Amino acid sequence: MLRRIAVIIPEGASALEVTGPAEVFSRADGRDGNHYELVFTSPTGGDVRTTSGIVISAATAAADVTAGGPVDTVIVAGSDQLTVPAPPDGLLSAVSVLATGARRVAAVSTGTFALAALGLLDGRRATTHWRHTTALHSRYPEILVEEDLYFVRDGRFATSAGVACGMNLALALVEEDMGTAVARSIAQELEVFLHRPGGQAQFASRGNPSPDGSFFASPLKRVTDAVLENPQADHTLTSMARTAAVSPRHLGRLFRDELGTTPSRWVERVRVDRARQLLVSGNLPVTTVAELAGFATDEAMRRAFSRILQVTPTSYRKRFATTG
């Protein structure tokens, strides 16, 4: 079966948001008799310059893509030009033309803003790069913005968090088309997680950079270090504020500004990540894993896994253990 995938490249896109998903699909091409045809497109065609200076040449004009056959999947790469209140009309027109009739429509990072501007995500769940979730929520209140997820699928629409998460998005689509075994094999080849643990905010930097590029202790870093060292402790907002030597209200602002989340959500993600490690590194009972990771009960851990990873602890252990 042949599936045509149109990758829409805005001017100023991140090269990895284009090449990452493309690499996944190209490695999946031909597996089990299934094929992908990648078509790189832009509003008017021609060369597109990415943020790194890499030029993607001879992109097909969006209006000409459908002439080559029906489009199965559309993927919109992100760009800073998409986060402005009025994204370029030409780009929105290209997305609209290609999204009409496509089986799936996906966006990487700030590409979500293009789908949002067209009203395609109204009443749906979606995500974007953690730096832009607040803007997405305030500008498009009809969308349920998932701030803590790296990948969200709602109906035929899929959105992902920043840059490298585009590969996770592509792997999820391959898994849907060809099964878990194929997707897992590609993930192993590329040395990435098929199902990445944790949320996206945990990848933000902790601490503040000094002039020489190193990191020095800050109130926020003192707290995050304490939680990472001992997630079992009772990390309440009051106790964390005491560790940081700031007020609870100020600590909440620090978490929001630096990590794009709340203190309690960040602690929960740390605990999920610790539980994930324990689940795949041994045969401890789930109840013991929950206790060692800092959850009050195994049911609390199950709810956290379902919310953050969209899978139960037991299913995660089974799925990950088979990767060897």
pLDDT tens per residue across span 23-66: 999 999 988 888 999 999 998 888 888 888 888 886 888 889 98
Read off the pTM.
0.64
- Collapsed DSSP state (helix, strand, coil) of residue 126: strand
pLDDT tens digits along 155-206? 899 999 887 888 989 998 998 899 888 988 898 888 776 655 444 443 443 3
What is the rounded distance in angstroms from the CA atom of residue 207 to the CA atom of residue 224?
A: 9
Closest CA to 71 of 101, 112, 31, 114: 101
First-last CA distance in the chain: 30
Domain ranges of the chain: 2-190, 203-324
Q: How many CB atoms lie within 10 A of CB 322?
A: 10
List, for the chain, all residue ranges whose pLDDT scores fall below the cut of 70. 58, 148, 193-217, 320-324
Class of domain 2-190 as given by CATH: alpha beta
Measure the CA angle with vertex 245, ends 242 and 251; round to 5°.
Answer: 80
226 exposed, middle or buried (CB, 10 Å; 0-12, 13-18, 19+)? middle
C-alpha of 277 from chain center: 20
Same fold, 2-190 and 203-324: no
- Collapsed DSSP state (helix, strand, coil) of residue 212: coil
Segments in 81-155 forming alpha helices (H): 89-99, 112-117, 133-139
CATH topology of domain 203-324: Arc Repressor Mutant, subunit A (1.10.10)
